Amino acid sequence: MTKTALITGITGQDGSYLAEHLLALGYRVVGMTRRSSTVTIERIEHIVDRLELIQGDLLDQNSLAYALREVEPDEVYNLAAQSFVPTSWNQPVLTGEFTALGVTRLLEAVRQVDPTIRFYQASSSEMFGKVAEVPQRELTRLHPRSPYGVAKVYGHWITLNYRESYDLFAVSGILFNHESPRRGLEFVTRKVTDAVARIKLGLATELRLGNLKSQRDWGFAGDYVRAMHLMLQRDDPSDYVIATGETHSVEELCGVAFSHVGLDWQKYVRVDEALVRPAEVDLLVGDASRARAELGWSPTVDFTGLVHMMVEADLARVEEAIRHGKAKVPVVHGV
């Protein structure tokens, strides 16, 4: 029997990879998108003829209940969020509305429309923040360091609360940073690989970054969406950490990315104090042994492979843009 999945945030990085994965598994895939004056389906353009889209917004309770009634999903993946950490200091209330209360709105819609729906919440390693132990695992104490992290802690606990209160099959995937050529340009991996391509091709001369010392456990988004699906196929709902188990600094990221095109990163990277965060998460590294044992999940792309993949994709994209005279990008302050 064909299963139906509803994905919020389908236009984002993870939404696009998850949609591809579920289509390949034979699912009917419906994406929830919010209304905007321009079309933002760049990441799903290649599969859009195999998807269905329905309008809805995490800020609007009725639109969520309507979407669930119309689509009748077996599984709901809540990937929508204000997901950029620095923006959460400029827009803390809006971040809370989307990223925290939005989860309650969707869970409440599930409970009222069809409590047999299986629900996945996109929780984050940012919840560990000022880490209580290394590596971080499912039971590590949470200490978020940004309004985004605080909002994700709320989303995490409300998911567990609805599971415990109403017996919903609601799970929280605690995913560490995952990247790809489809990552937004403001996140550090993509900012670096995009700059490497533009510097190599003569369009830029320097790259301004914030804290070079912070360390992250970076994996490939295509691997991580497989874990989301596996979590909803278990007999019993449970929460899992998804990570590679390796950590690297922003400096190392620069080293691998620039050297891939024969450049020395130290000649191009400048520290800009305006990009240093009010409170930083210094070190993240996850222990995904529970997911390995119980879900049979493991990553297929390592750190160097990931960075090389992203540099190659950005080189190809910037070359193409140069050919078509479209190589200019807007400057967004504070990013």
What part of residues 307-326 is at the interface with ligand NDP (CB under 6 A)?
A: none
Select the binding partner of residue 88 from ligand NDP, ligand GDR, none (C-beta < 5 to 8 A, by kind).
none
Which token pair is 225?
């969406």
CA dihedral 105, 110, 112, 115 (to 10 degrees): -150
Select the binding partner of residue 216 from ligand GDR, ligand NDP, none (C-beta < 5 to 8 A, by kind).
ligand GDR
x/- mask, ligand NDP, residues 94-113, rule CB under 6 A, reads ----x---------------
124 included as an active-site residue: yes
What SS3 string covers 114-153?
A: CCCCEEEEEEEHHHCCCCCCCCECCCCCCCCCCHHHHHHH
Q: In the complex with ligand NDP, which residue's Cβ is closer, 218 or 265?
A: 218
Q: How many residues line the site for ligand GDR (CB under 6 A)?
A: 21
214 near ligand GDR (CB under 6 A): yes
Reported as half-sphere exposure (CB side, CA atoms, 13 A), residue 193 has a value of: 27
x/- mask, ligand GDR, residues 111-150, rule CB under 6 A, reads -------------xxx------------------------
180 near ligand GDR (CB under 6 A): no
Return d(Cα 143, Cα 132) in angstroms, integer: 8
| Main-chain phi, psi angles of 287, to 5 degrees | -110, 100
Select the binding partner of residue 58 from ligand GDR, ligand NDP, none (C-beta < 5 to 8 A, by kind).
ligand NDP
120 included as an active-site residue: no
Q: In the complex with ligand NDP, which residue's Cβ is closer, 31 or 200?
A: 31
188 near ligand GDR (CB under 6 A): yes
Contacting residue, 92, 115, 184, 255, with ligand NDP by CB under 6 A: 184
191 near ligand GDR (CB under 6 A): yes
Distances (CA, A) of 164 to 68, 157, 160, 170, 218: 22, 10, 6, 9, 32
189 near ligand NDP (CB under 6 A): no
DSSP symbols for 260-314:
HTT--GGGTEEE-GGGS-SS---B--B--HHHHHHH----S--HHHHHHHHHHHH
Residues at the site binding ligand NDP, with contacts judged by CB under 6 A: 8-9, 11-15, 34, 36, 40, 57-59, 79-83, 98, 122, 124, 175, 177-178, 184
Residues at the site binding ligand GDR, with contacts judged by CB under 6 A: 83, 85, 124-126, 176-177, 186-188, 191, 209-211, 214, 216, 250, 275, 277, 280-281
